[in-house]
Amino acid sequence: MGLLERFFKPSWGVHPDDHKRPAADVPLRTLPLPERLYVPLQQHVGGPARPVVLAGQKVLKGQLLAEAQGNISAPVHAPTSGRVLAIGEVTAPHPSGLAQLAITLASDGDERWLEREPVADPFALAPEEIARLTAAAGVVGLGGATFPAAVKFNLGRRLKVSTLIVNGGECEPYLSSDDAVMRVRAAEVVDGLRIVMHAIGAANALVGIEDNKPEAIAAMRAAAAPFGDVAIRPVPARYPMGSDKQLIQVLTGKEVPADARAAEVGVLVHNVSTCAAVHRALRRGEALVERIVTVNGGAVRAPGNLLAPIGARVADLLAFAGLAAEPARLILGGPMMGTLLPHANVPLVKGASGVLAFDAREAARPAAGPCIRCGSCTVACPMGLLPLEMASRIRAGDLAGATGFGLSDCISCGCCAWVCPSHIPLVQYFSHARGELAAGERARLRNEATRRLVEQRGERLARDAREKAAAAAKRKAERDAAKAKAAAATESAAASSAAVSAKAVSP
């Protein structure tokens, strides 16, 4: 199979127009510092961070704003120096348009850094120490999954991972932020990935880059030339090549089993931008407070890549790049898997690789028709699932049936919906079903917790009653004892008085 795949292109996936140029070729620009920054407390998978600053407090750039809470969590840091205005709710970059907690920062324009503590030689540090410093810098997976990087390091070390796979696939159309990172910061990426190799104990690294990014491949080859254990591997441009399971399969020939993690087949995947962030966290002692983000789409006048602080509003980015038309649709991330935004007043988060403003033509969505069972989706599905069967079951409300067809293996890549000639929003069906299943699971756990609470209350009431009875019995015993004592005392007093009187009488 490995041999076949070397000679033939993978059969899965789709090949949409990539729309990456001309944005990818525009030199990197820096977003002028916005007056206000809105730093959400949860920009990662896991528990939200807990604020450690107060409203009104002055902070420096890179200062801890909120600390990690729980095993899987990440801290957030001040993206610039200034004053904390408020800790409150702002609209989350989420299709629901619901609010999330965020720290609002008024920048003072000085960009004064907190005292940084760079590590001169990260390779002299213990792997645990690298994981600790990475976690403290708030580094999360920047490819979009936003899983805390340090947690993954520890997992890789525990499962004895031999190969680090560095994901430079960036298969989503329109996006070129990873491309920009590899072109501009190739040396940082390579140093960062070598630090990651040290942290997880990997012997070699494979950097997979889609062959539609020749400049990035050349820059990375030049940067990796001195290191024999780092191989740059161009891979065919095909969506979703940047998905970890697909990239692993193409680069190593190993298939990650369903319900297993990549680390269980001896590899660990990190994004190129994450590796660059690890480099900055250690070599410069800088927390993750900014990222390179692609601003693209038909409604943008000057598309390109911007270096922007975390917490800048999407509206700030769009205003800087200029709008040629009123955007018909706003997306954070890529067009295939990105997050639909309710409006532009949402903050930029760590996992946001792009901001897309589509014009009416790009956003046009043909009305969905009935499924004609053509099977195109089954060919396109990179996980080998049957999207049409899953969707028909979900439509009928049969979530268990959809799970039986492998709903949990779906990576929500959107290939099926992209090829569907009836334009059925298949991914929305799957997202809906997953949400409902998760809600059902939460309800079940809640039921169990309720039962436990009721039992514990029963036990508590029984214990209270027992203790009350014991206390009453004790009091009664004491009373009885006191009574008996008193009785004995009066008796002895009577006896002695009788004796006295007897004595008095006797003479």
Partner 1 sequence: MLIAILSLTLLGAVLGLGLGLAARRFHVEGDPLVAQIEALMPGSNCGQCGFPGCPGAASAIAAGSAPVTACPPGGRALAKALAEKLGIAIDLGQVADAGPRIAAVAEEICIGCCRCIKVCPTDAIVGAAKQIHNVMREACTGCGNCVERCPTEAVTLQPVPVTLQHWVWPRPQLAGA
Of residues 447 and 492, the one with the C-beta less far from partner 1: 447
Instruction: Give the nearest distance from C-beta 339 to partner 1 in angstroms.
Output: 11
Instruction: Report angle CA 153, 157, 159 to the nearest 5 degrees.
Output: 115
Report the C-alpha gap between 192 and 140 in whole angstroms. 14
Report the C-alpha gap between 239 and 466 in whole angstroms. 68
Among 57, 408, 450, 497, binds partner 1 (CB under 8 A): 450
Enclosing H/E stretch for 478: helix 426-505
What's the alpha-carbon Rg for the chain, to the nearest Å?
32
Q: Is 219 in the site for partner 1 (CB under 8 A)?
A: no
Instruction: Give the nearest distance from C-beta 407 to partner 1 in angstroms.
Output: 13
Neighbouring-strand partners of residue 104:
38, 86
Q: x/- site string to partner 1, residues 73 to 92, per CB under 8 A?
A: -------------------x
Q: Is 456 in the site for partner 1 (CB under 8 A)?
A: yes
Of residues 211 and 464, the one with the C-beta less far from partner 1: 464
Of residues 283 and 395, the one with the C-beta less far from partner 1: 395
Pairing of strands 36-40, 99-107: antiparallel
Enclosing H/E stretch for 48: none
Token representation of residue 201? 């104990």
Count of positions on this chain that bind partner 1 (CB under 8 A): 35
Of residues 74 and 306, the one with the C-beta less far from partner 1: 74
- Neighbouring CB atoms inside 10 A of 386's CB total 15
Among 30, 57, 96, 490, binds partner 1 (CB under 8 A): 96
- Binding part of the chain for partner 1, among 25-33, 283-291, 324-332, 456-464 by CB under 8 A, reads 456-464
Token representation of residue 250? 């193409």
Alpha helices per DSSP H over 213-367: 214-224, 244-252, 272-279, 314-321, 360-363
Q: Is 174 in the site for partner 1 (CB under 8 A)?
A: no
**3-class secondary structure, 88:** strand
Among 367, 502, 504, 505, binds partner 1 (CB under 8 A): 367
Q: Is 258 in the site for partner 1 (CB under 8 A)?
A: no
26-45: which residues touch partner 1 (CB under 8 A)?
42
Distance linking the first and last C-alpha atoms of the chain = 129
Report the C-alpha gap between 332 and 90 in whole angstroms. 16
Q: Is 457 in the site for partner 1 (CB under 8 A)?
A: yes
Instruction: Give the nearest distance from C-beta 441 to partner 1 in angstroms.
Output: 12
Among 63, 73, 80, 100, binds partner 1 (CB under 8 A): 100
Q: Which residues contact 10 (CB under 8 A, 6 or more apart)?
A: 236, 238, 246, 249, 250, 382
The number of angstroms, rounded, from the C-alpha of 68 to the middle of its chain's C-alpha atoms is 13
369-428: which residues touch partner 1 (CB under 8 A)?
369-370, 394-395, 422, 424-425, 428
Per CB under 8 A, residues contacting partner 1 are 42, 92, 94-96, 98, 100, 367-370, 394-395, 422, 424-425, 428-429, 431-432, 435-436, 438-439, 442-443, 447, 449-451, 453-454, 456-457, 460
